Structure 1
Amino acid sequence: MAWNTPRLDSERSRRRLQILAELAGARSVRQRERPQRERTERLRQLIATRRRVAG
């Protein structure tokens, strides 16, 4: 049974690295989308404020 342990550890390491890479990719996508989301939110707030003032 001991001869399988290194292979299992290398498989675990490979999967761990793959998961970490996927998480890093997802984080970078969120980072890129965040400025657009913030601009959209500011614009919505501005429109709501103008409607309140005009109405």
Structure 2
Amino acid sequence: MGQTPRPTPRPPSESDTERRRRRAQFLRELNEAKELRARVHPRRARAARMRQQMRMRTFRW
């Protein structure tokens, strides 16, 4: 019922550099998707930026 998903263990053949390369690729694609979304919905993107700025202003370090 409330079982938490466990991270899948990495196959032993996968090297650290391969994992980093895949992660970098994923982050690039994520950034690209965010930029595309911002171009398609500028008002929504602006509102999201404002909300993020507000969160950062009220966040206590």
Normalised TM-score (structure 2): 0.46
- Separation in 2 of the partners of 1:22 and 1:5? 26
CA offset at residue 32 of structure 1? Answer: 1.9
Q: Which runs of 5+ in 2 are unaligned?
A: 1-11, 44-61
> Quick check: which has more Rg, 1 or 2?
1
Q: Does 1:5 align with 2:25?
A: no
Q: For the aligned residues, what is the CA RMSD?
A: 2.5
- CA shift, 1:3, in A, is 8.0
Length, aligned pairs only = 33
Structure 1 unaligned residues grouped into runs of 5+: 34-55
SS of corresponding position for 2:15: helix
TM-score (norm 1): 0.50
More helix by share: 1
Q: Which structure has the higher relative contact order (CA within 8 Å, separation 6+)?
A: 2
> 1:32 is aligned with what amino acid?
P
Separation in structure 2 between the aligned mates of residue 31 and residue 4 of structure 1, nearest angstrom: 39
